[in-house]
Structure 1
Amino acid sequence: MTATGPGLDLAHGRDSRGTGGLIPAEVLRQLNGRRDGPAWRQLAGHGGLILGAGLVWGHAALPWALRLAALLLLGWGLAFAFCAMHECGHRTAFASRRVNDTVAWWAGVLSFYNADFYRRYHQWHHRHTQQLGLDPELESAPPDTRRAYLLSLSGLPWWIDKLRGHARGLVGDFAGRPYIPPEAAPAVCASLRRQLAVYAVLVALSLPGWNGALFWFWLLPLAVGQPLLRFVLLAEHGGCSTATDALRNTRTTLTLVPLRWLMWNMAFHAEHHLFASIPFHALPAAHGWIGPRLVHEAPGYLALHRRFLADPAQLTLPTA
């Protein structure tokens, strides 16, 4: 999936002629429609989950079992803000490009990503999906042993990668990253520095009385929420083909409605790769057209990961 022009707008998808008539042109036109309502409702719900869970987690008078459940929900809400950043990074969630970019940036702050870096990184991923040496998601080798698989799910490699990547970006070091061309580097570097400034303010607010608010209400919950995010992200392309056909190199996973909601419908991942122009709220309808043609459609994340756990090597081996 390519993007055109300096705006790096990832909404440009293929039409039905470019995908073997998977979706009739008129239906695709309707699915591509931009509507603010679904995005605002999704964002309000996601934000409400974070706020509500945070209030319960921080209420010392409540039972510990309830508070720990709230910690888990808070962690999932923060970690899966990545999905909000991803959808708005495609500039398809809202009708306004400015709103998409603003929501993407703040969602990146919450999930410890940088939206401006990620937009360019992700454009390259769509353009070169599953292509060794080109797809940036393959910069780190997928886990091929049980130990590596469990380590990946823990989120620890992700934290290390993000800390190193942000540190490099803050000084404008994007060597070996062709998706950040020299003309884009200053803007990405500036965005990372603004993000660091936000974190610095949060640290300063957390210091009085050594209340540790930044740790208790962001770092700890985000660490708790990471394993579930790693769990679903491994399913997107793990063990899929290295062919250029998104019907074969990307997986859609059928899952429970609450998780699908938390993911902003990213579980319909093959549909998204085939038609990046379709907003998140229309992906279930797109699945109705595309589903019968998918090579990789998992009946659920647990079933899929049971296979991965039994033989982690299949995460690295392309299949038909």
Structure 2
Amino acid sequence: MSVNAAQPGNPPITMDDWYKCPLDRKTLKEVTRRNDHVALAYFGGLMALVIATGALAWCALGTLWIVPALLLYGTIYAFAEAMEHELRHRTPFRSEWLNASVHWVICFMTWREQIYSRWSHAQHHTYTHLTATVPADAELAVKRPPNYFKLATDFLRVSHGIHHLGNIVLHSFGIISMGTKAVVPPVEYRAMCRNSRVILALYLGVGAWAIAAQSWLPVVFLLLPRSYGAWLHELLAITQHTGLRENELDHRFSTRTLYLNPVLQFLYWNMNYHVEHHMFPNVPFHALPKLRRAIEQDLPPAYEGLFAAWGEIVQVFRMQRSDPDYMITPAVPGKTAGDARVVSSAGEDAALSVAESR
């Protein structure tokens, strides 16, 4: 099958164009089943940790322990981003009202508005690590060659904040940016702007509280943890695709799965099973380990922890200093890079080619 993704009138890329590992219908039905109880346990556990570490930081005010206490609090708080990611898919809870209600809380914590976040992420799943198509992946974390200044500031969520908070402000005034128009359908604009006004009002309310109390503490505890605590979640998030092959319609070449200890896996909402998540995005977070076991024979080996993944990423960065096109090719069973690929040549539009080898 061959598709020219850059020319008008040609079929766009869809999720059906991507390779999927064989999975029997019974297992697929089991792993796509949502569970309110499991999702509530994860959400409740995360919020309990946020409250407990926040109380610890509060008790440390006025002492030298405030710095490590706030760092611990912020680190836990920032993992709300992992839950927000799952909520974009509307898969944590079986009850839609729970998905919607919890998403409000988590969006406040993560500087996001629900509708823009959901549609931007849909583009990421449709064009994962594709750079030679129009449109391209809207959520590429690290481009080639890497911009080390941006990479460093990402650990404080600087560009994330400028992008998402900037959109919240613009959308609150009914101004739809070109970037937003590229991913959000017009029918969603009104609800997106309404949501943005609510979230902006909440943030301004925290600022007013700080002014009235003549204290920075409301801002430090409610608005800034996503920045000063971002480091560990960012270390995990960057492993998802960085350094792997671009322009392949096979998530096994462009996405990493890594094994983590139970604490990190809990905080990260099982998103370390990232190949599986991209291949079957309707599978809830809690079923991803079971999905892994079901299709493992058709997947590359998982990385043994965060250090193993980052060891490879650092090597990629080193190689890209002299060769910006350098990428890692995972060991995919029975496949070689290029079996599913996007190719482009000088003076020609990007062309999408998928081998009939499924």
Check whether the contact 1:144–1:316 (CA below 8 A) recurs between aligned residues.
Answer: no
Q: Aligned equivalents of 1:207 and 1:53: distance in 2?
A: 24
Give the letter aligned to residue 174 of structure 1.
S
Change (3 A) 1:46 1:190: same
Per mean C-alpha deviation after superposition, the further-off stretch among 144-153 and 123-132 is 144-153
Give the letter aligned to residue 135 of structure 1.
D
Check whether the contact 2:78–2:229 (CA below 8 A) recurs between aligned residues.
Answer: yes
2:200 is aligned with 1:196: yes
Q: Which residue of 2 aligns with 1:86?
A: 85
Give the letter aligned to residue 262 of structure 1.
L
Per mean C-alpha deviation after superposition, the further-off stretch among 230-239 and 37-46 is 230-239
Q: Which residue of 1 aligns with 2:281?
A: 276
Secondary structure in structure 2 of the residue aligned to 1:276:
coil
Please report how far the alpha carbon of residue 145 of structure 1 lies from its aligned counterpart in structure 2 after TM superposition: 5.2
Q: Which residue of 2 aligns with 1:106?
A: 105
Please report how far the alpha carbon of residue 51 of structure 1 lies from its aligned counterpart in structure 2 after TM superposition: 0.6
Q: Normalising to structure 1: TM-score of the pair?
A: 0.85
Change (3 A) 1:122 1:299: same
Check whether the contact 1:246–1:270 (CA below 8 A) recurs between aligned residues.
Answer: yes
Check whether the contact 1:49–1:77 (CA below 8 A) recurs between aligned residues.
Answer: yes
Give the letter aligned to residue 128 of structure 2.
T
Name structure 2 gaps, 5 residues minimum: 1-14, 330-358
Per mean C-alpha deviation after superposition, the further-off stretch among 182-191 and 134-143 is 134-143
Q: Aligned equivalents of 1:317 and 1:210: distance in 2?
A: 52
Please report how far the alpha carbon of residue 317 of structure 1 lies from its aligned counterpart in structure 2 after TM superposition: 4.5
Check whether the contact 2:74–2:225 (CA below 8 A) recurs between aligned residues.
Answer: yes
Please report how far the alpha carbon of residue 100 of structure 1 lies from its aligned counterpart in structure 2 after TM superposition: 0.6
Q: Which residue of 2 aligns with 1:136?
A: 138
Q: Percent identity?
A: 26
Q: Aligned equivalents of 1:184 and 1:267: distance in 2?
A: 31
Check whether the contact 1:89–1:101 (CA below 8 A) recurs between aligned residues.
Answer: no
Give the letter aligned to residue 124 of structure 1.
Q
Q: Which residue of 1 aligns with 2:299?
A: 294
> What pairs with 1:112-151 in structure 2 (closer than 5 Å)?
112-132=111-131, 133-138=135-140, 141=143, 144=146, 146-151=148-153
Secondary structure in structure 2 of the residue aligned to 1:37:
helix
- Of residues 302, 310, 313, the one that matches 1:308 is 313
Check whether the contact 2:111–2:165 (CA below 8 A) recurs between aligned residues.
Answer: no
Name structure 1 gaps, 5 residues minimum: 1-12
2:50 is aligned with 1:47: no
Check whether the contact 1:85–1:105 (CA below 8 A) recurs between aligned residues.
Answer: no
Secondary structure in structure 1 of the residue aligned to 2:243:
coil
Number of paired residues?
305
Q: Which residue of 2 aligns with 1:174?
A: 177
Secondary structure in structure 2 of the residue aligned to 1:91:
coil
Check whether the contact 2:156–2:230 (CA below 8 A) recurs between aligned residues.
Answer: yes
Q: Aligned equivalents of 2:30 and 2:268: distance in 1?
A: 23
Change (3 A) 1:109 1:296: farther
Check whether the contact 2:243–2:316 (CA below 8 A) recurs between aligned residues.
Answer: no
Change (3 A) 1:60 1:88: same
Q: Which residue of 1 aligns with 2:72?
A: 73
Give RMSD over aligned pairs: 2.7
Please report how far the alpha carbon of residue 121 of structure 1 lies from its aligned counterpart in structure 2 after TM superposition: 0.7
Give the letter aligned to residue 179 of structure 1.
V
2:40 is aligned with 1:36: no
Give the letter aligned to residue 302 of structure 1.
F
Change (3 A) 1:61 1:152: closer
Q: Which residue of 1 aligns with 2:11?
A: none
Give the letter aligned to residue 20 of structure 2.
T
Change (3 A) 1:212 1:289: same
2:221 is aligned with 1:217: yes
Check whether the contact 1:247–1:296 (CA below 8 A) recurs between aligned residues.
Answer: no
Q: Aligned equivalents of 1:214 and 1:99: distance in 2?
A: 27
Check whether the contact 1:250–1:270 (CA below 8 A) recurs between aligned residues.
Answer: yes
Please report how far the alpha carbon of residue 29 of structure 1 lies from its aligned counterpart in structure 2 after TM superposition: 0.8
Secondary structure in structure 2 of the residue aligned to 1:135:
coil
Q: Aligned equivalents of 1:152 and 1:75: distance in 2?
A: 15
Please report how far the alpha carbon of residue 154 of structure 1 lies from its aligned counterpart in structure 2 after TM superposition: 4.1
- Of residues 162, 165, 168, the one that matches 2:164 is 162
Q: Aligned equivalents of 2:67 and 2:282: distance in 1?
A: 39
Q: Aligned equivalents of 2:297 and 2:153: distance in 1?
A: 34
Please report how far the alpha carbon of residue 221 of structure 1 lies from its aligned counterpart in structure 2 after TM superposition: 2.5
Q: Aligned equivalents of 2:161 and 2:325: distance in 1?
A: 22
Q: Aligned equivalents of 1:215 and 1:61: distance in 2?
A: 15
Please tell me whether Structure 1 or Structure 2 has the larger radius of gyration of its CA atoms.
Answer: 2
